[in-house]
Structure 1
Amino acid sequence: MESRRVTIRAVLTWALVAGAAASVWREDDVGTARQTGVGPSGTEPASQSPWSPYYWFGESSVNEAMSVLFPAIGSDPLVCKTSEDDIYKTGLCMRLADCPYYGGEGYGSCGGGLGTCCVFSQSCTGTTNMMVSHFVSKTFTTTSPGVGECKLTVNPRHNNICQYRLDFDSFNIAQPDPSSDCTEDFFGVTGGSHAPKLCGDLTGQHIYINAEPGGGPIILTMDTSKTLDMKRDWNIKVTQIDCNSPYRAPAGCLQFFNETSGMVKSMNFKGIDPPDDEGPSYWSRTSTTRRTSQPLRPGSTKNDIKTSQHESSSNVLLSREEFIELKNKHILELSEQENDESVSNNKVRTQRSRRTYEQDMRQIQNLNYGVCINAKVGYCDLTWTQSKAHGAYSFTMSGDGSVPASELKSEFGVENCVTDYVSINGGVFVDEASDAPIHAVRYCGTKFPEVKTKAQPYVLHVTTDVDEGNDRRNLGFAINFRQNLC
């Protein structure tokens, strides 16, 4: 009992000293510090002044500690970093007792050890009204069929919520079908502004959902096919945004980047360099047995994929003759298996669930959304460039994306880009042949030029239609943006 009293007394003393110092420095010298960046003595930086608690504990620790010890009524808890960022990157800094009381789970300490970094996660049929929560795939740990409809209901935590941000910390479900439609597995959002039907690999992507203040909940729906065996996973962080928050995205922006440079990827994009300049490679679709990241060449078939998986599991380098012999043997075994009337229904379903190379990692059809870049003060224009980090095939939106890299070409203009394209208002690029500037809004094809624009607000509009008849192996795009100083 005595040790507990000593601990409580020490905590209160620390809080009072830190709070007093913080209030003294903030009230008396905040104007000076903001304008000159120095502490009360007038010589040292504010953060290095012994009069400031930030000198002893660090700004984030002090702020977190004060929010835990003296939470303001109606204020938001501060975001903290978890101790296990491979599972959850961030949480909310809360008192130890409050975290489990509200249904959360602690992942490390925060606020100088006075609080816990609390994470709120929900799975199928869950409900939440927390400022930050996670929609996770707790039911999937191995290769298995889907479960059908899985929903999370997100209620606004008060009547001044205007927006929700969804961060796909991890997201891997079934790929689109050959027509680029999400038919087997898909994800959607209802109850707020329109959100497209999505599927495939969205890890690292984000979207914004607008909502009416004082309105009802939004519902996140993950529908996975019960007839498709594969390993799925998702972890979607849902953040509620106040109507007067500086983090609110502008209207009409499904995605929003508040930075001077970065990369924008189309939904379900993951391109890599092709081998031997023979055409674009794709990451193989997860099969019923294991996930393989071995790139497959154009023209590969289901038999090639199985052979590839067999090789990757043995980790043995084969000569060309040995490879052909093994491949022929594997094809023969597969043929005999498929003709055997005693094959179980589970094996038949397993064979159906495998996808050929042609169907792996393609752009999603029927999209129509804006990607907005916040224009910064002192920057006068914006440059868009094709991502070199993702190889020559990092822009294949229309046409034949299976040609050698030397045959890739840009298309632009309303006449040429009518199906799948990106739009940039005020866009200007230099023609490679004539070295003359060309003004264009729409860009498509299998190559993206360097495009500059001064037209604000900065918006990259993405359009894909439902007709993929004349398109082959379109991955989508990965393009960089850079704001330029005046």
Structure 2
Amino acid sequence: MAVFSLFNIVSFDNGPCPSSSSVGSGNNGNRNGTCYATNECLQRGGSASGNCAAGFGVCCVFYLSSGGTTSQNCTYLRNDNFPSGLTGTNGQSFTINKCSCDVCYLRLDFLTFSLLGMVDSLEIMGGTCQDSLKVTSSSNEPIPEICGQNSGQLIYVDMDRGCSGNAKLDFSFTGAASTRIFEIKATQVKCGSQST
């Protein structure tokens, strides 16, 4: 006589998954997430957006709006009230800590990025950004200040080889601007990874 358990424990990889949340704003496709059990997603502060692992998990998408700190891979950094424009001049600061010791780089995809540009329209004159994004990291590699229209662009940030590596994104704003808006996908890249 065979005995069957009433309960089976289902385990699955907490790998990347395509969510049901559309990127929009001229970008094709959906946001990426991480496959977690529903309760794990909520405990980590994510938003369930579609299923994964044959329906046993949810595709968990992580967002940070108006600043904050995260150690979740593939987090979307957005302005207050996204997708509406940001009109205030209060700065915003985001910190991304490594999700694991084998991460060496942070890839920042500017899905939507529209800040006020330089005061002097002749960039060869070394104009000053009215709004700016300053990116720094624990590796202390110099990264130029970013402003203006940069939707669709991306940069890589060295997070050094230590387990406590991180990167910081500091936004500063001047003057009123109804078109100021940003959503940046922050993806952590393992050392020696061939994927881009």
Q: Provide TM-score, normalisation by structure 1.
A: 0.34
Query: Map of 1:48-197 to 2, 5 A cutoff?
Result: 69-71=11-13, 77-86=14-23, 89-139=31-81, 142=84, 145-177=87-119, 178-180=121-123, 181-191=127-137, 192=139, 193-197=141-145
3-state DSSP of counterpart to 1:199? coil
Aligned to 1:273: none
- Aligned amino acid, residue 230 of structure 1: S
User: 2 CA distance for matches of 1:246 and 1:134?
Assistant: 23
Choose which of 196, 215, 220 in structure 1 pairs with 2:169.
Answer: 220
Instruction: Go from structure 1 to structure 2 and tell me whether the alpha carbon gap of 1:139 and 1:155 turns closer, same or farther (over 3 Å shift).
Output: same
Instruction: Go from structure 1 to structure 2 and tell me whether the alpha carbon gap of 1:208 and 1:186 turns closer, same or farther (over 3 Å shift).
Output: same
3-state DSSP of counterpart to 1:103? coil
**CA offset digits 1:199-245 (Å, max 9, x no partner):** 122111111011211143210112121x2232221111111112232
User: 2 CA distance for matches of 1:145 and 1:208?
Assistant: 28
Per residue, is there more strand in 1 or in 2? Answer: 2
User: 1 CA distance for matches of 2:88 and 2:128?
Assistant: 14
3-state DSSP of counterpart to 1:91? strand
Count residues in correspondence: 180
Structure 1 stretches lacking a partner, 5+ long: 1-5, 16-68, 72-76, 248-257, 259-486
Q: Is the 8 A contact 1:121 1:134 kept in 2?
A: yes
Instruction: Go from structure 1 to structure 2 and tell me whether the alpha carbon gap of 1:144 and 1:84 turns closer, same or farther (over 3 Å shift).
Output: closer
Give the drift of 1:140: 5.5
User: 2 CA distance for matches of 1:117 and 1:160?
Assistant: 23
Q: Which has the higher contact order (CA 8 A, sep 6+)?
A: 2
Q: Is the 8 A contact 1:172 1:233 kept in 2?
A: yes
Instruction: Go from structure 1 to structure 2 and tell me whether the alpha carbon gap of 1:144 and 1:164 turns closer, same or farther (over 3 Å shift).
Output: closer
Aligned to 2:158: 210
Structure 2 stretches lacking a partner, 5+ long: 25-29
**CA offset digits 1:61-85 (Å, max 9, x no partner):** xxxxxxxx244xxxxx321111122
Instruction: Go from structure 1 to structure 2 and tell me whether the alpha carbon gap of 1:172 and 1:111 turns closer, same or farther (over 3 Å shift).
Output: same
Q: Provide TM-score, normalisation by structure 2.
A: 0.80
3-state DSSP of counterpart to 1:98? helix
Choose which of 152, 176, 180 in structure 2 pairs with 1:232.
Answer: 180
- Aligned amino acid, residue 91 of structure 2: E
- Aligned amino acid, residue 104 of structure 1: G
Give the drift of 1:142: 4.9
- Aligned amino acid, residue 132 of structure 2: F
- Aligned amino acid, residue 164 of structure 1: L
User: 2 CA distance for matches of 1:144 and 1:84?
Assistant: 22
- Aligned amino acid, residue 131 of structure 1: N
Instruction: Go from structure 1 to structure 2 and tell me whether the alpha carbon gap of 1:167 and 1:143 turns closer, same or farther (over 3 Å shift).
Output: closer
User: 2 CA distance for matches of 1:160 and 1:169?
Assistant: 26
State the identity %: 28
